[in-house]
Amino acid sequence: MRLTRFLSIAFATAAAIGIAACDNNSSSTGGSPPKNTAGPKQKEHYVIGLVAKSQVNPVFQAARVGAEDAARDLSAKYDIEVEIRWQTPAQEDAQQQAQYVEQLKASGVNGIAISCIDANLLNGALKDAVDNGTVVMTFDSDAPNSGRMAYYGVDDKAAGAAVMKALAEQLGGKGVVAVLAGNQAATNLQNRVAGVRAEAAKYPEISIIDVYYHPETANDAAAKMQQVQNANPQITGWALVGGWPLYTDNALDGVYEHARVVSLDPLPLPLQYLKKGQVQVLIGQPYYGWGYESVQYIVEKLHNAQNPPSEMIYADFDVVTSGNVDEYSANWAKWTGKSGG
């Protein structure tokens, strides 16, 4: 009996000592702290879809480079990871754009930057993306009723005015002007024509003979210019609110000998016309900035809850003349890997 009682007391004492030891190890004032088994903190990762109008157009290749440069710069600035997902039709296709928007939304991207071919067709897909928590920016071509956060690009009316102002300077403030305007149903082109008319009204000795519309191909545009010039030899200036005829060779034969030409879009081929003296001024849009600025505004919203300065963010124009054509041409080597000439 004494042995049994002794063993019971010994076991009880050992148990009490063990409990006390456990209490001491778990105390904040004694023992070793628990080990932290968590790994290194993961960086914030943002995926942004870039949906341009077409892969073959060099202006959108420049926008892609801008977006990727912004992703690199912002990743370094904020110690985050920004990924660009390029989802753009090979040729202009609004329905394909809408499908890409839906796919990007379904994959859970954080943001979408898009140049809209047809705002009416895209409104539904963009609204769904916004409702799903995706931050949407438009660039170049807007969809104001889509719920997008903001638009970045030029003011189309101001673009038309810039073309006409440069042409008026070339004409010495007097002459007969024809306007080449592409698709008559395009809202952005109508706004540019309105800008041309408003600026021309400032010059009493300049008259606009007419506005000429055409299918938006290089050959159709060139044929329209040559036909109109031949029928109206009094024309001394052409205001092009899009650079369509300048995307092919010999487009201005029969025109440049009689009239001054000012156009939007200093792309590689139009720059050759400027270097040859067949075009006097080219007005440039922020092609690289379409991508860079759009991604920057989206990331600032996602990462810092910072809103853009306004809903409509208008960029400045580049004015390209014989004096700075070589300097401007060098941009295309950076933007697309191809020389501007």
pLDDT at res. 307: 97
Is residue 20 pLDDT above 70, yes or no? no
The proportion of the chain whose per-residue pLDDT surpasses 70, expressed as a percent, equals 87
Is residue 341 pLDDT above 80, yes or no? no
Percent helix / strand / coil, the chain, rounded to 5: 45, 20, 35
Please state the rounded mean pLDDT for residues 189-206: 96
pLDDT at res. 205: 98
**Size of the chain, expressed as the number of residues it contains:** 341
pLDDT at res. 87: 97
Q: What is the helix (H) or strand (E) element at residue 19, kind and residue range?
A: helix 2-26
pLDDT at res. 17: 40
- Band of residue 23 on the pLDDT scale cut at 50, 70, 90: very low
> Pairing between strand 260-264 and 205-212?
unpaired
Q: Which long-range contacts (CB under 8 A, 24 or more apart) does 170-175 make?
A: 170/237, 170/260, 170/262, 170/280, 170/281, 171/206, 171/236, 171/237, 171/260, 173/203, 173/205, 173/206, 174/203, 174/205, 174/206, 175/205, 175/206, 175/236, 175/237, 175/260
- Paired with 85 in beta bridges are 49
Please state the rounded mean pLDDT for residues 155-168: 97
- Model pLDDT for residues 107-134, shown as the tens digit of each residue: 999 999 999 988 999 999 999 999 999 9
Q: Pull the structure tokens for residue 282.
A: 């080219």
pLDDT at res. 338: 61
Q: Pull the structure tokens for residue 201.
A: 């009204």
Is residue 145 pLDDT above 60, yes or no? yes
Q: Pull the structure tokens for residue 183.
A: 């698709």
Tell me the average pLDDT of the chain: 89
Amino acid present at 13: T
Is residue 61 pLDDT above 80, yes or no? yes
The full set of domains in the chain, from first to last, is: 45-154+286-310 (3.40.50.2300), 156-284 (3.40.50.2300)
pLDDT at res. 8: 45
> Which carries the bigger pLDDT value, residue 8 or residue 277?
277
Is residue 5 pLDDT above 50, yes or no? no
- Model pLDDT for residues 278-322, shown as the tens digit of each residue: 999 999 999 999 999 999 999 999 999 999 999 999 999 999 999
pLDDT at res. 37: 52
Distance CA 171, CA 163 (A): 12
pLDDT at res. 219: 92
How far lies 17's CA from each of 20, 144, 146, 208, in Å? 5, 75, 71, 103
